């Protein structure tokens, strides 16, 4: 391409963009660090209907990015601009590009940072056209093979998540626009109160649009009402309905809500089925069609019942998981201590459970005052992410508290004694751990003496924003079975400094390992040194914790006056 000969992006020259596989049917362009388009290829020009001369050197956002209605999209609201600022590969949907002929191109996209051989940074954008959604068809028009495929897809899609809201969202996307113009989901909670969680329709471009104004709490289900939705919410069989069903005098509050639903949405034919598991009714799903000649039939109800039955089992599993998670989180938080009130010291702690595990793990923190006036602080991580890890954590924490209080020894000696105790007294436990003593001298100066058993190093951040890891005094983890004499070290804590103890869930990424996370932590902690301690902890969790990490996180921060 003119003006770009010899420059290379991520190991590929701009000329090679033209050799992008044609069968992939992808658009590709490159923007520099100022957002100007500096490279395209032929298929990009065909998709966007711009010439190369019209694109090159122009601001990519101003030239291409638009709202669904074609209006200008502010940079702060543009998902592609936000993705470019992250400096990581990000993909997205629901985006429109302005074409040279004035039309809009709905696209799915991927942005990835790139760098030329001369060190100049930029961004590679890959996109493809999102085809328009298939028009909805009556259920009766589906072949037997299509019905079986839909049921299989329903099972695999809904059971792949344990989040109730996500399960409902996936159910809606399965039904729209393939089987309906509108989908309504009503769910009952454990107390029997019904909430209209979703009223959704499909736009011409394939996007699902929620009508939040039609969602919300529902009147109670009365046993006397014989209208379709009331029967479904009591566990009755699936049935057909139309606006005429709710034209007469309402027999319940739900009938009033349904009358308004038909009037606002324009639904002319609806099928309503209960959502239930093997024991209880969880709610009901309503699918509706607005075309005058497209009406559901009795033969269609069996498919809807099969779909709603699978939805009921998935929702039941998600609710069981949520109940277990609440119990587990309550148990975990009861295992974690209240921080002591130490004159002159500020303390703050945070704990985040693993997002996808049983929500109980082996990460913990502890802090308590010793008889001589020092303050013991602990951060630890028992290997595992289950109830066994939590039980091992409780044993280890209690044993360490007892040893530290009774022996008043140095941190290294106490960790050695704890290691011996774990081997002979506790169940099989392997753990990493930092034990430290915060000491206040006679002149009011503060210091920390610590020993590290295989744990990520503490981070010391001074009040002026200098940060360094305390990476000495490191030894073997606990429970390894190998005898060890752990070393310890002493470090002064300058006025206004912050000592951070944390577990590896804060810094470790399965994709990149631990070193990038340590660098991130040091950089952000230094930038946040002037923040109040609680705010600093919250910001560190938001900024540093890797998005792909499925581990627990414990964080303990101590600040000197």
Tokens of 456: 């990520």
pLDDT band at 39 (very low <50, low <70, confident <90, very high): confident
8 Å CB contact between 449 and 377: no
Residues listed for the chain: 561
248-296, pLDDT tens digit by residue? 888 899 999 999 999 999 999 999 999 998 889 999 999 999 988 788 9
pLDDT above 90: percentage of residues in the chain: 42
pLDDT of residue 184: 96
Overall average pLDDT of the 220-232 stretch: 91
What is the spatial distance between Cα 54 and Cα 51, in angstroms, rounded to a whole number?
5
pLDDT of residue 185: 96
pLDDT band at 501 (very low <50, low <70, confident <90, very high): very high
Q: Per DSSP, which regions of 229-319 are E strands?
A: 239-241, 269-276, 281-289
What is the spatial distance between Cα 109 and Cα 93, in angstroms, rounded to a whole number?
6
Residue 442 has pLDDT above 60, yes or no: yes
The residue with greater pLDDT, 68 or 255, is: 255
pLDDT of residue 327: 66
Residue 5 has pLDDT above 70, yes or no: no
Residue 74 has pLDDT above 80, yes or no: yes
SS3 sequence, 293-307? CCCCCHHHHHHHHHH
Give SS3 for 389. helix
pLDDT band at 328 (very low <50, low <70, confident <90, very high): low
pLDDT of residue 267: 93
pLDDT band at 3 (very low <50, low <70, confident <90, very high): very low
Overall average pLDDT of the 41-56 stretch: 89
pLDDT of residue 475: 85
According to the per-residue pLDDT averaged within each range, which of 49-63, 108-122, 388-402 is highest?
Answer: 49-63
8 Å CB contact between 213 and 248: no
Cα distances from 320 to residues 163, 187, 326, in angstroms, run 10, 15, 10
Q: What is the CATH number assigned to the segment(s) 338-559?
A: 3.60.40.10
DSSP string computed for 506-561: GT-BTTTBSHHHHHHHHHHHHHTTTS-HHHHHHHHHHHHS-TT--S-EEEEEEE--
Give SS3 for 469. strand
The residue with greater pLDDT, 547 or 349, is: 349
Write the class of the CATH domain 139-324.
alpha beta
133-171, pLDDT tens digit by residue? 555 555 656 777 778 888 888 888 888 888 889 999 999
Give SS3 for 229. helix
13-34, pLDDT tens digit by residue? 444 444 444 445 788 899 988 8
Residue with tokens 């946040």: 528
The residue with greater pLDDT, 7 or 77, is: 77
pLDDT band at 494 (very low <50, low <70, confident <90, very high): very high
Overall average pLDDT of the 522-534 stretch: 94
Tokens of 45: 């020009």
pLDDT of residue 64: 93
pLDDT of residue 138: 55
Residue 385 has pLDDT above 90, yes or no: no
pLDDT above 70: percentage of residues in the chain: 87
407-440, pLDDT tens digit by residue? 877 899 999 888 888 777 656 578 899 999 999 9
Contacts by residues 241-244 (CB-CB < 8 Å, ≥ 24 positions apart)? 241/270, 241/271, 241/272, 241/286, 242/267, 242/268, 242/269, 242/270, 242/295, 243/267, 243/268
Instruction: Out of 82-86, 108-112, 503-507, pick the least confident.
Output: 82-86
pLDDT band at 129 (very low <50, low <70, confident <90, very high): confident
pLDDT of residue 388: 65
8 Å CB contact between 289 and 295: yes
pLDDT band at 115 (very low <50, low <70, confident <90, very high): confident
Residue 377 has pLDDT above 60, yes or no: yes
Per the prediction, the chain carries an average pLDDT of 84
Query: What are the structural domain ranges in the chain?
Result: 8-129, 139-324, 338-559
Fold of the domain spanning 8-129: Beta-Lactamase (3.30.450)
Residue 536 has pLDDT above 60, yes or no: yes
């Amino acid at each position: 391409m003119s003006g770009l000969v010899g420059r290379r992006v991520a190991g590929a020259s701009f000329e090679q963009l033209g050799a992008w596989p044609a069968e992939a049917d992808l658009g590709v362009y490159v923007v520099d660090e100022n957002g100007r388009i500096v490279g395209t290829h032929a298929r990009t020009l065909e998709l966007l209907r711009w010439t190369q001369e019209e694109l090159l050197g122009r601001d990519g956002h101003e030239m291409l990015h638009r709202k669904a209605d074609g209006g200008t999209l502010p940079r702060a609201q543009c998902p592609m601009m936000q993705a470019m600022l992250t400096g990581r590969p990000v993909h997205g949907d629901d985006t429109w590009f302005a074409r040279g002929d004035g039309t809009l191109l709905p696209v799915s996209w991927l942005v990835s940072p790139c760098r030329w051989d001369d060190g100049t940074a930029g961004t590679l954008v890959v996109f493809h056209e999102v085809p328009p959604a298939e028009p909805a068809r009556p259920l009766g028009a589906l072949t037997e093979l299509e019905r079986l495929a839909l049921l299989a897809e329903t099972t695999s899609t809904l059971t792949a998540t344990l989040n109730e809201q996500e399960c409902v969202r996936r159910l809606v996307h399965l039904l729209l626009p393939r089987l309906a113009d509108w989908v309504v989901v009503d769910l009952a909670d454990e107390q029997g109160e019904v909430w209209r969680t979703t009223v959704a329709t499909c736009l011409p471009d394939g996007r699902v649009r929620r009508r939040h104004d039609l969602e919300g709490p529902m009147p109670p289900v009365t046993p006397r009402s014989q209208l379709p939705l009331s029967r479904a919410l009591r566990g009755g069989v699936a049935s057909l309905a139309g606006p005429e069903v709710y034209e007469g005098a309402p027999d319940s509050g739900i009938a009033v809500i349904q009358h308004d639903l038909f009037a606002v949405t324009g639904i002319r034919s609806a099928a309503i089925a209960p959502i239930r598991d093997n024991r209880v009714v969880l709610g009901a799903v309503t699918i509706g069609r607005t075309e005058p000649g497209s009406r559901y039939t009795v033969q269609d109800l069996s498919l809807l019942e099969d779909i709603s039955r699978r939805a009921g089992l998935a929702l039941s599993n998600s609710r069981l998981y949520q109940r277990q998670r609440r119990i587990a989180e309550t148990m975990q938080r009861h295992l974690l201590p209240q921080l002591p009130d130490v004159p002159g010291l500020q303390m703050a702690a945070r704990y985040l459970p693993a997002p996808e595990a049983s929500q109980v793990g082996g990460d913990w923190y502890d802090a308590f005052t010793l008889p001589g006036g020092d303050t013991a602080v602990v951060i630890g991580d028992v290997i595992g992410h289950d109830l066994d890890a939590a039980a091992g954590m409780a044993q280890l924490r209690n044993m360490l508290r007892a040893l530290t209080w009774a022996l008043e020894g140095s941190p290294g000696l106490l960790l050695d004694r704890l290691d011996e105790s774990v081997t002979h007294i506790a169940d099989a436990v392997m753990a990493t751990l930092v034990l430290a003593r915060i000491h206040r001298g006679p002149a009011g100066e503060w210091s920390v003496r610590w020993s590290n058993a295989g744990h990520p190093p503490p981070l010391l951040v001074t009040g002026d924003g200098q940060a360094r890891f305390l990476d000495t005094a490191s030894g073997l983890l606990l429970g390894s079975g190998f005898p060890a004499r752990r070393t310890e070290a002493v470090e002064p804590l300058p006025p206004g400094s912050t000592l951070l103890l944390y577990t590896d869930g804060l810094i470790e990424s399965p994709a990149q390992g631990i070193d990038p996370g340590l660098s991130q932590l040091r950089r952000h902690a230094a930038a946040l040194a002037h923040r109040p301690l609680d705010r600093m902890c919250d910001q560190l969790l938001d900024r540093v914790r890797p998005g792909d990490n499925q581990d627990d996180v414990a964080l303990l921060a101590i600040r000197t006056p």
